[in-house]
Amino acid sequence: MSERICVGAIAGAFGVKGEVRLKSFTSIPEDIAQYAPLETEDGAMEFDVIVERVIKNGLAVRLSGISTKEQADALRGVRLFVPRDRLPALPDDEFYHADLIGLPVFDTGGTQLGRVKAVHDHGAGDLLEIHGPGLKSTVLLPFTREVVPTVDLEAGRIVADPPEGLF
């Protein structure tokens, strides 16, 4: 498990007074401000966050030290992180996406199907994007208790019972 978790990404400037459009990866988008200060991936910059309002595809926020449109534009694409210990503990049946990425996925017979490359949420439930040797293309595995009965973070593995023909 990683020591830092990506909680958001800056999509560019919003307006001319230094606000940025922020894509929040927290379950309640506005809660991202509670985890501040947020830091860049390289740790070179740190920001306090004030959520101004919810906007289409994200939040309009003020970041400490950013006061012009040019400064905000320069941050486009920057991902923001927090130390894991600043995030709340999760119930047994919930997981941070960062903890799932990279885990090997096995079928119920013990055969490795691949590794989790990404976790996608398109509104109807999470999908695990599985890559691996022997796979001609990416496989999107529904992340439901029926299809993925076991996620063992301590052992570093996922056990899946995929629908017939998916792999």
Residues 84 and 156: their CA atoms lie apart, in Å, by 18
pLDDT in tens, 25-63: 888 899 999 999 999 999 999 999 999 999 998 999 999
Residues paired with residue 80 on neighbouring β-strands, in sequence order: 8, 40
Q: What is the pLDDT of residue 2?
A: 59
Residues 50 and 42: their CA atoms lie apart, in Å, by 22
The boundaries of every CATH 2.40.30.60 domain in the chain are 4-85
Q: Could you tell me which CATH number the domain at 97-160 has?
A: 2.30.30.240
Structural domain 4-85, CATH architecture: Beta Barrel (2.40)
The band of 11, judged by pLDDT with boundaries at 50, 70 and 90, is: very high
The band of 82, judged by pLDDT with boundaries at 50, 70 and 90, is: very high
pLDDT in tens, 115-165: 999 998 877 889 999 998 878 889 999 999 999 999 998 899 999 999 988
Q: What is the pLDDT of residue 88?
A: 85
Q: What is the pLDDT of residue 125?
A: 84
Residues 27 and 130: their CA atoms lie apart, in Å, by 23
Give the pairing type, strands 46-47 and 58-63. unpaired
Average pLDDT over residues 14-22: 94
The boundaries of every CATH 2.30.30.240 domain in the chain are 97-160
